[in-house]
C-alpha cells in the first residue's frame, strides 16, 4: 500500500483522451503540481521532459514511469494516468502507453527513489495488475488497485 502522501484520487486521471507523449507528460505534471503550493506545472513538466531526453521511461506492456528530481519538495509525490487509447511513447517494446505513473522525488532521495521505482516496475510487470488498472472506470477504483498491491 502506498502512502496517502504519495498518491491520492486528486492526482489520478481516469479514461483520459490524450493523443501524444508530450500531452501525457503535461497532464502528469498538472496532476503532480495541483496539490503542492510550491510546485509549478511548467517546471514539473520541464523536469519530466529532461529525464525523457536521457532515455524513454516506457517500460513496455503499455506502462510508463516518468520521474524527476526536484529541490522544491521534501517528500516523494506520485500521479497516475489511464488513457482511453495508448500514445506513442518510444517504449522498449514499441507498444503505445496507456498507463503512466509519474514520480517526483527530492533531489537527495537516491535510495528511496530507486526502491520506489523498482517496486513500481515490479507491480506493473504483473499481467493481472495491468488488466485491473485498464478495467477501472474511476479514479477511486484505480487508487484501490494501486493500493491493494
61 is catalytic: no
C-alpha–C-alpha distance, residues 10 and 149, integer Å: 20
Among residues 67, 113, 115, 119, the one annotated as catalytic is 67
Full DSSP string of 86-111: EE----TT-PPEEEEEEEEEETT-HH
Asked if residue 81 lies in contact with residue 18, where contact means CB atoms within 8 angstroms, the answer is yes
Asked if residue 56 lies in contact with residue 123, where contact means CB atoms within 8 angstroms, the answer is no
Question: Cell 530507486 appears where?
Answer: 114
Catalytic residues: 67
Amino acid at each position: 500500500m502506498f502512502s496517502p502522501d504519495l498518491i491520492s484520487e486528486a492526482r489520478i486521471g481516469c479514461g483520459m483522451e490524450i493523443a501524444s507523449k508530450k500531452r501525457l507528460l503535461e497532464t502528469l505534471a498538472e496532476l503532480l503540481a495541483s496539490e503542492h503550493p510550491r510546485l509549478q506545472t511548467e517546471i514539473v513538466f520541464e523536469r519530466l521532459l529532461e529525464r525523457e531526453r536521457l532515455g524513454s521511461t516506457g517500460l513496455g506492456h503499455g506502462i510508463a514511469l516518468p520521474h524527476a528530481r526536484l529541490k522544491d519538495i521534501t517528500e516523494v509525490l506520485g500521479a497516475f494516468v489511464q488513457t482511453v487509447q495508448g500514445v506513442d511513447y518510444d517504449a522498449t517494446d514499441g507498444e503505445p502507453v496507456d498507463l503512466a505513473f509519474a514520480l517526483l522525488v527530492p533531489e537527495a532521495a537516491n535510495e528511496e527513489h530507486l526502491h520506489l521505482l523498482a517496486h513500481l516496475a515490479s507491480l506493473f510487470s504483473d499481467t493481472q495488475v495491468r488488466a485491473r488498472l485498464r478495467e477501472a472506470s474511476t479514479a477511486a477504483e484505480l487508487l484501490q488497485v494501486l493500493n491493494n498491491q
